[in-house]
Structure 1
Amino acid sequence: MRILVIEDDARTANYLQRGLSEAGHVVDSAAEGRTGLEQALEGIYDVLIVDRLLPGLDGVALVRQARQAGLQTPILMLSALASTLQRVEGLEAGCDDYLGKPYAFVELLARLDALLRTRHQLPGPARILRVGELQLDCAARTVVRQGRTIALQHRESLILEKLMRHSNEVVSRSMLLESAWDYVFDPLDNVIDKHIHRLRKKLDAGFAYSLIQTVAGMGYRLLERQPHTAEP
């Protein structure tokens, strides 16, 4: 998943970014409330992690303004201010969950996974996606096609996840780029095409047709069903 961490303490932000990246997520960060709100409103994130005490715009106000602007992204608030009243205030502002500091990183990961399961209504802790004959385990980074298990690289799984969440729709190269790389990445012109090429080789080996279509000038589309063939 793609996560935005809004945290002004550099040490804490680096800790979260490193741990979440090692867990297989794409992570961006913001060190100030207003900047974080602007990034959040781009609508490209699966989850926001927001510290309560932020400069410029505090976490509660940030969440409230994000919800007023119509943002539906799940939000987990982190704070050393964790009394019952403070938790209630955060939840009433629009947070989906509230985790007091200090916390165990494994609990943070579990709460993030729970937020995503609730949002996408995915079964089980592994976050299984199913589209047609494909089944993707987003945690293990494996895909099954007609009973055959295929191992994917990290970014291949993120790209496929994006395509599966928008099956039968055209997904632009920029959308795929946003799903698998952070802001500091300086992309090569054909980086998405190269990853799609490798992904197709893995998914289509031994099959008569490809599930990923190229839509000229627009991007790529994952087909839910086998394309129809002309009658002889």
Structure 2
Amino acid sequence: MAGKLLELKDVSKAFGAHKVLDRISFGVSAGEIVGLLGPNGSGKSTALNVISGFLPSDGGEIRLQGDNITNVSAQRITGHGLVRTFQLPSMPHRMTVREVLQAGASGNASLASMLKPFRFDDELDELLESFRLTHVADLPASALSGGQKKLLSVATALRSKPKLLCLDEPTAGVHPNLRSDMVTILKRYRDKGVAILVVEHDMLFIRELCSRCVVLDRGEIIADCAPRELEDNARVVEAYLGKAVEKGKVAL
């Protein structure tokens, strides 16, 4: 995996006797968008939590830009350039959408950064417009719908200028008309060299966005391929449907 921005080697995680990740290895290059896929319970969210420092691993090694970030705190990993979103983003009650997005420019959520005078700029306005949040920019961020909070969380993560952006189900609750917009936006940042690792169930979104997919099942990697190759992979089809399916009878 030479030259990878993110590298996982033999990473494992168990909860009691239940092995959730079983020595998984894969990488993500700068300017690459990789989908992390798998059926429910396959280990996707656990992998994302281990990579971003929200859970300790039980073994293996994780490197970001060549630095060993294995079991480093989430705050320190953020300092290395990894920024992530969550399935259910929470928003502050006393800040507007515009203020939350501006605070993201600091790359952290410290009290000191929140108290600095806000300096709005063209990028902030572009993100508001791109994610169709301009009309709610001066509302409390906590008053947004679930889908709007998801859009704001992705916009704020991009605002922090990450080297690696990890997205946890970014389209959940988002209006279908906005999903193609999100593909365009994320590809624009990819072209600037940002690496993106995305956990997602919407396969149409994955096909449009990702150049590669890493598929987990029961904590093991069962495929690492282009999205168009997934429906021809018998192990992937069986993992999703629970049984072998004749080739050409399913679209993932």
Q: Compute the TM-score of the two structures, normalised by the length of structure 2.
A: 0.27
Q: Compute the TM-score of the two structures, normalised by the length of structure 1.
A: 0.28
Q: Which has the larger radius of gyration?
A: 1
Q: Which has the higher contact order (CA 8 A, sep 6+)?
A: 2
